[in-house]
């Protein structure tokens, strides 16, 4: 339903901004696994810093819960060959969509305050000045593209004093919260095309009363 594509696209966007290849941005489905794995490997010793962890709130808000043309008769998808010519298939594709809002939290873990502030400064500027995010929806060999925008919350939290069993000792953690307000749940509908081949048509001339017959055929 495309939610995982937003997770992936946002994680990769943030990862691309990190110049140090040793620093990893963990995406939502990796965060809990990563914490447990690191804890097991290190026997609850401090985890190597810095790293970033992106998590998504479990609540997904449906912005329009009512039936509307977008939800059942959405965008017609046109396919083109390598030369740019439209390909006419036996089936037509409809991209239906329901608007949703996704909320994310980016936690920045570093050893010291100065390093954390550098990451926060860089990421806030990047997120505000480059808010566009593009997802790719694969369907039957067709990669559908959709763009959304990131909206950064006005508050940045310094929650370094929150005790956590997995992080004994000193560390600094800042949290940046954001939403994607124009996200969508997508559904690709495959509808069979009707091809016109033969159909009988009669055209009568009122004055001569002569009838002209033309035959076409409709094949599905």
Query: At residue 220, does pLDDT exceed 60?
Result: no
Query: At residue 44, does pLDDT exceed 60?
Result: no
In angstroms, the CA 99 to CA 143 distance is: 20
Q: Which residues of 98-115 are buried (b: 16+ CB within 10 A; e: fewer)?
A: bbbbbbbbbbbbbeeeee
In angstroms, the CA 203 to CA 209 distance is: 10
Quick one: pLDDT at residue 186? 87
User: Domain coordinates of the chain in residue numbers?
Assistant: 3-193
Q: What is the DSSP letter of 193?
A: -
- The domain defined by 3-193 folds into STM4215-like (3.30.2000)
Tell me the pLDDT tens digit for each residue of 89-143.
Answer: 556 677 888 999 999 999 998 888 899 999 999 999 999 999 999 998 877 666 7
pLDDT band at residue 205 under the 50/70/90 scheme:
low
- 0.85 cut: is pTM over it? no
Quick one: pLDDT at residue 165? 44
Residues 71-99, mean pLDDT to the nearest whole number: 72
């Amino acid at each position: 339903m495309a939610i995982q594509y937003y997770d992936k696209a946002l994680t990769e966007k943030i990862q691309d901004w990190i110049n140090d290849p040793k620093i990893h941005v963990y995406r939502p489905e990796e965060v809990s696994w990563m914490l447990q794995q690191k804890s097991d490997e290190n026997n609850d010793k401090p985890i190597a810093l810095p790293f970033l962890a992106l998590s998504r709130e479990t609540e997904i808000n449906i912005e329009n819960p009512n039936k509307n043309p977008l939800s059942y008769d959405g965008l017609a998808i046109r396919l083109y060959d390598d030369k740019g010519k439209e390909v006419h298939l036996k089936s037509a594709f409809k991209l239906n969509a329901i608007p949703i809002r996704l909320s994310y939290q980016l936690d920045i873990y570093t050893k010291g305050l100065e390093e954390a502030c550098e990451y926060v400064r860089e990421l806030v500027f990047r997120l505000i000045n480059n808010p566009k995010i593009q997802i790719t929806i694969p369907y039957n060999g067709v990669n559908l593209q959709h763009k959304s925008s990131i909206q950064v919350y006005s508050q940045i939290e310094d929650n370094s004093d929150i005790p956590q069993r997995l992080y004994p000792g000193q560390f600094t953690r800042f949290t940046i919260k954001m939403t994607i307000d124009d996200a969508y749940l997508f559904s690709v509908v495959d509808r069979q095309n009707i091809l016109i081949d033969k159909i009988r048509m009669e055209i009568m001339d009122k004055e001569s009363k002569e009838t002209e017959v033309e035959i076409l055929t409709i094949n599905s």
